[in-house]
Structure 1
Amino acid sequence: MRNSVFLLRNKALGVLTCLPLLASAQALAIAVPDKPHLVTQGHAEIKVAPDMATLSVKVTARQSDSLAAKEEVDTKVASLFSRLASLGVSKKDIDSGNVITRPDYQYSKDGDKPKLLGYHAERQISIRLYDLEHLSQTLNTVLEQGIQQIQQVNYGRRNSDQLRQQARLAAVAHAQELAEELSQAAGRELGDVYAIEYRAPRTNPAPRHYGALNIKMASEETLDASYVQNDIEFSDQVDVVFVLK
């Protein structure tokens, strides 16, 4: 069977690729009619460059009492907010969780009574960055505030819902296009759609995990070509059963 590739190019959205697939109804576990029919898989993917990133940051402190630990975390967060504002990051693009405090014990292997080392406080901060050219500077700004827990950087697209919808519609159109091509080649007329089975889309690339990071490491990272995030893929797939006349 001849394969074909359909490409739709759009400067704003990147490249949309549809690849023809054909599979049996038994393999797909989709309902089929008790008469001549055709089953096709429609697949589409859109690859685009990211235009935003979300930084997940943990702000921590340990002090002799819980209040002092909380105050140190709050001071770091306030200082971070001020520095981020100077970079053009709006408060509405920052999500800040409530502070959590807990005692920090050291446990002995000999079964002795745990020793209280102090109190640990932490707050989770999410920062949405819409200018990726400032990503390195933002990472350094976070670290300069004494915050060593940049946990991950998750790249994304602001119009992700629109791109997912476009991939979904393109997958359906591809299933229809492939069915028309195959039925015509077989000398049969394509009838109505009997059933459609929607398949869950692929997940986007996993976020980059950092863990404890220092300023020197962040600076070295900016010199590494692997720091540049690859295109984000939005893909979708449907199985469609057509009746043959």
Structure 2
Amino acid sequence: MGSKQGFGKLASQGKVLLLAASLTAGSLLALNGAGVLDSGSKPVYAAEQGAAMENTIAVQGVGKLSVAPDIAYVTAGVNVTAKTAKEAQAGAAKRYDAVVKMLKGTYSLADKDLKTTSYYVQPQYRYTEKEGQVLTGYTATHELSISWRSIDKTGELLDSLGSAGANQISGVSFGTEKTDAYTNDALKKALDNARVKAEALAAAAGRSLGPVVNITENGAQAVPVYREMAQMKAMAASDSASTSVEPGQVDVQGQLTVVYQLK
């Protein structure tokens, strides 16, 4: 009788232990499914992503072209020094108005093509051992940027600016207003360049190219051409009567990273 009772007690304890084990296992599965526990295995999406990237090749393509500029940006201005700030400002205003009047009257430039880039008035000093730093006057400076589309007449414009009263010309930059169209062409060339590279690498590995898996644009831009005043003066050395400016070519570049499937 005692043996039967003991066996029944052990059986009952065994059921409790099995139930506890089942609950523990179920809890672990639930927690693991919820992401609370980390068993060290990779997530399903990472495994799928890794499988998708197998048998692929990634290359960088570069596309370049040179185009004729269709716009120039001229930075010019006036500066006047006088005993007082008021006199300097008045003198600069008179010169500036004459320059703008010439640009609108002689060359029919619109307001949108003229933009003030800076205006400032600053004191001028001289230094002597006896008196130290002494105020000698004020200089007023007014600068503007001019959008100019008659590229072949850029030298003429610079001469006219000087005649009208502009005594400060920093230089000229040549660019294009068709940046979107040209950069698209450069990116197409970059894609062709990437395919040539990928085909060469695939052939070297004894494989062939499949379809494109991914394309990433790394950048596309039109690089302006700058002409400093020193350069323009050198160009005009043989003909002091006029300023000579050579616009050159605008370089357009595009870069892509392309991933191909390998067969």
TM-score, normalisation: structure 2: 0.67
Length, aligned pairs only: 210
Give the match for residue 190 of structure 1.
209
Q: Which runs of 5+ in 2 are unaligned?
A: 1-49
Q: What amino acid maps onto 1:52 in structure 2?
A: I
TM-score (norm 1): 0.71
| Bigger share in helix | 2
CA distance in 2, matches of 1:191, 1:218: 60
CA contact (8 A) 2:62 2:254 kept: yes
Amino acid in structure 1 at the alignment position of 2:185 = Q
**Residue 103 of structure 1 is aligned with which of 119, 123, 127?**
123
**Alignment equivalent of 2:102, drawn from 83, 98, 101:** 83
2:252 alignment partner, one of 217, 229, 234: 234
The Cα shift of 1:80 comes to: 0.6
Corresponding letter in the other structure for 2:82? Q
Matches within 5 A, 1:1-245: 35-85=54-104, 86-97=106-117, 99-108=119-128, 110=129, 112-176=131-195, 178-180=197-199, 183=202, 188-193=207-212, 196=215, 198-201=217-220, 204-210=223-229, 220=240, 227-245=245-263
SS of alignment partner, residue 92 of structure 2: helix
Structure 1 gaps, min length 5: 1-30
Q: Which amino acid aligns with 1:90?
A: A
Q: Distance in 2 between matches of 1:202 and 1:46?
A: 11
Query: How far does the alpha carbon of each residue in 1:78-101 deviate from its partner, in whole angstroms, 9 at most, with x for none?
Result: 111111121222222010246311
The structure that has the greater radius of gyration is 2
The structural deviation recorded for 1:199 is 3.8
Contact 1:47 1:231 in 2 (8 A): yes
1:136 touches 1:218 (CA, 8 Å); kept in 2?
A: no
